[in-house]
Amino acid sequence: MTPALRLPACLALLALALLAPSTAPAAPPATALPGDSVYQLPLPLTDQDGRRADWRARRGRPQLVSMFYTSCQYICPLIVESGKAVDRQLTPAQRQRLGVVLISMDPKRDDAAALKKVALERKVDTRRWTLAAPPAGDVRAVAGVLGIRYRQLADGEFNHTSALVLLDADGRVLARTERMGSQPDPEFVAAVRKATSP
Q: Which fold has domain 38-195?
A: Glutaredoxin (3.40.30)
pTM, 2 dp:
0.83
Segment 176-194 shows an average pLDDT of 97
pLDDT value, residue 30: 58
17-26, 37-46, 129-138, range with the lowest pLDDT: 17-26
CB-CB contact of 171 with 33 (8 Å): yes
Helices (H), the chain: 3-19, 75-88, 92-96, 112-121, 139-146, 186-195
Rama region for 123: left / alpha / beta (φ>0; ψ in -120 to 50; rest):
left
- Model confidence pLDDT, tens digit, residues 80-89: 999 999 999 9
Task: Write a three-state SS string for 139-158.
Answer: HHHHHHHHCCCEEECCCCCE
How does DSSP classify residue 36?
A: T
For the chain, the structural domain boundaries read 38-195
Show Cβ contacts of residue 122 under 8 Å, excluding neighbours closer than 6 positions. 77, 80, 81, 84
- Model confidence pLDDT, tens digit, residues 162-175: 999 999 999 999 99
Closest CA to 62 of 89, 98, 87: 98
Give the pLDDT band (50/70/90) at residue 39.
very high
b/e map of 126-161 (b: 16 or more CB within 10 Å)? Answer: bebbbbbbbeeebbeebbebbebeeeeeeeeebebb
- Model confidence pLDDT, tens digit, residues 107-128: 999 999 999 999 999 999 999 9
